[in-house]
C-alpha cells in the first residue's frame, strides 16, 4: 500500500467520475478523499437540486465553474429540445464541451438512473417564458430568438433589432420572424439585408401576418434592386407560414435561396403552381 500522500498525488489526475468510484472502493481511500468530496460531487448533485433552487440564484450556478455552467445549459437545452416545447423538431447542436459533459453523464448513467427526475415540469415552472408562445427567448442558451415586427420595422420588445442582431446574431441557430406588413417587396428586402447578421442560422421561420393582401402593381412584382445574398453555409430549414402573398415575389425569393436551403416547409400557400418552381 502506498503512503497517503502518494495516493493524493495520483488522485489529482482523476476525473470527478473516477474519484466517485475511488471513494466507493474502500474506506481507506474514501478517507483520503473526504476533503475533496464537495468539489467533485458538485457537478453530479447540481442537476438534482436545480428544482429546489430559486430562479435568481440558479443563474449564479452558471458562473461557478465550467462544469456547473455546461451542466446548467445542458439541462435547459434538453428541455428546449423536448417534443412538448419544440414541436418543429429542430434540435440544437451540442457544443464540444457539452458533448464531453454528455459523455460523462452517460458514463454516470450506467450506474445511476436520472431518468425519473422531472426537469421539464420544474423548468416550465421556473422559466415560464421558455414556452414557445413567448417572445422572450435567450439567444445564448437557446440559440433561438423570436423577432416581431410592426409596419415593416423589425424589433424585439425592449431592444431595437439593429442593436440586437449585430451583437448577438452570430449566436442564433434558429430564428422566427413574425412580420406585419403590407408590402412584400419591403418584407423580403428587409429579411435579405439582415441575413448577413446571422451567419450560423440553420432554421428560419417567416410568419407574416399580412394586414391586407393588397394588389401589387406589375412593375413592383419583380424586385427593383438586386440584393447580395450572404452565403449561409449551414442553413437547412426554411419555414414559410400563412402565405397569401403574390406568387412572383415568393418565387423570386425562393429561387435566390434554393441553393442554400435543403428543407422547406410552406404552410398555407394558396397558389399550388408555386411548387414547380422549387425543387429541393
Partner 1 sequence: MALVRVISSDGAAFLVSQRLAKRSGKLKTEIETFRKSSDNSEAQPEIRIVTIRAEILRLVLQWLQQHQNDPVLPANQNEQDGRGDAEMGQSQWDRDFLAPMDLGIVMELILAANHLEVKGLLDITCKLVESKITGRTVDEIRTAFKLKSDFKGNEEEQTRLENRWCVEN
Q: Is residue 272 a contact residue for partner 1 (CB under 8 A)?
A: no
Does the protein bind partner 1 through residue 278 (CB under 8 A)? no
DSSP string for the chain:
---HHHHHHHHTTS-HHHHHHHHHH-HHHHHHHGGGHHHHHHHHHHHHHGGGS-HHHHHHGGGT-HHHHHHHHHHHHHHHTSTTT-TT---PPPPHHHHHHHHHHHHHHHH---TTS-HHHHHHHH-GGGSTT-S---HHHHSEEEEEEETTEEEETTEEHHHHHHHHGGG-SEEEEEEEES-HHHHHHHHHHHHTT-TT--EEEEEEEES--PPPPHHHHS-SSPP-----TT--EEEE-S----HHHHHHHHHHHTTT-SEEEE-S-S-GGGGGG---
Query: Judged by CB under 8 A, does residue 229 bind partner 1?
Result: no
| 38 interacts with partner 1 by CB under 8 A | yes
Measured from the CB atom, is 37 or 162 closer to partner 1? Answer: 37
Q: Out of 54, 106, 212, 280, name the contact with partner 1 by CB under 8 A.
A: 54
Residue listed under C-alpha cell 412538448 = 84
Residue 140 or 229: the one with the smaller Cβ distance to partner 1 is 140
Residue 4 beta carbon to partner 1: minimum distance, rounded to whole angstroms: 18
Residues 5-24 touching partner 1, rule: CB under 8 A, are 20, 23-24
- Check residue 211 for interaction with partner 1 (CB under 8 A): no
Does 37 participate in binding partner 1 (rule CB under 8 A)?
Answer: yes
Q: Single out the residue of 7, 88, 122, 155 in contact with partner 1 (rule: CB under 8 A).
A: 122
Q: Are strands 159-160 and 153-156 parallel, antiparallel or unpaired?
A: antiparallel
Which position among 7, 11, 32, 36 is part of the footprint of partner 1 (CB under 8 A)?
A: 36
Minimum CB separation of residue 90 from partner 1 in Å reads 21
User: Taking contact as CB under 8 A, which single stretch among the options 99-107, 138-146, 184-192, 244-252 is the one that binds partner 1?
Assistant: 138-146
* 174 lies in the site for partner 1, by CB under 8 A: no
Q: Counting contacts by CB under 8 A, is residue 131 touching partner 1?
A: no
What is the C-alpha separation between 193 and 158, in angstroms, rounded? 22
Query: Least distance from C-beta 129 to partner 1, angstroms?
Result: 7
Q: Does 230 bind partner 1 (CB under 8 A)?
A: no
Decide the pairing of beta strands 174-181 and 159-160: unpaired
Q: Which residues in this chain contact partner 1 in the complex, by CB under 8 A?
A: 20, 23-27, 30, 34-39, 41-42, 44-45, 48-49, 51-57, 59-69, 111-114, 116-118, 121-122, 125, 129, 136, 138-141, 158
Amino acid at each position: 500500500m502506498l503512503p497517503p500522500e502518494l495516493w493524493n498525488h495520483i488522485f489529482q489526475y482523476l476525473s470527478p467520475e473516477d474519484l466517485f468510484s475511488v471513494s466507493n472502493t474502500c474506506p481507506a481511500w474514501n478517507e483520503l478523499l473526504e476533503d475533496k468530496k464537495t468539489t467533485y460531487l458538485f457537478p453530479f448533485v447540481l442537476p438534482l437540486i436545480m428544482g429546489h433552487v430559486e430562479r435568481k440564484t440558479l443563474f449564479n450556478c452558471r458562473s461557478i465553474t465550467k462544469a456547473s455552467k455546461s451542466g446548467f445549459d445542458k439541462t435547459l437545452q434538453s428541455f428546449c429540445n423536448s417534443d412538448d416545447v419544440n414541436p418543429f423538431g429542430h434540435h440544437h447542436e451540442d457544443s464540444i464541451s457539452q458533448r464531453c459533459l454528455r459523455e460523462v453523464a452517460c458514463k454516470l448513467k450506467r450506474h445511476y438512473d436520472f431518468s425519473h427526475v422531472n426537469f421539464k415540469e420544474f423548468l416550465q415552472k421556473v422559466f415560464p417564458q421558455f414556452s414557445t408562445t413567448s417572445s422572450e427567448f435567450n439567444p445564448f442558451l437557446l440559440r433561438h430568438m423570436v423577432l416581431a415586427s410592426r409596419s415593416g420595422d423589425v424589433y424585439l420588445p425592449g431592444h431595437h433589432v439593429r442593436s440586437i442582431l449585430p451583437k448577438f446574431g452570430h449566436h442564433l441557430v434558429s430564428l422566427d420572424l413574425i412580420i406585419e406588413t403590407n408590402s412584400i417587396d419591403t418584407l423580403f428586402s428587409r429579411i435579405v439585408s439582415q441575413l448577413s447578421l446571422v451567419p450560423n442560422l440553420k432554421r428560419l421561420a417567416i410568419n407574416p401576418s399580412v394586414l391586407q393582401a393588397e394588389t401589387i402593381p406589375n412593375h413592383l412584382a419583380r424586385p427593383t434592386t438586386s440584393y447580395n445574398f450572404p452565403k449561409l453555409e449551414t442553413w437547412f430549414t426554411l419555414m414559410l407560414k400563412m402565405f397569401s402573398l403574390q406568387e412572383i415575389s415568393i418565387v423570386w425569393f425562393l429561387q435566390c435561396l434554393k441553393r442554400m436551403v435543403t428543407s422547406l416547409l410552406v404552410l398555407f400557400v394558396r397558389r399550388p403552381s408555386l411548387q414547380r418552381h422549387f425543387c429541393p
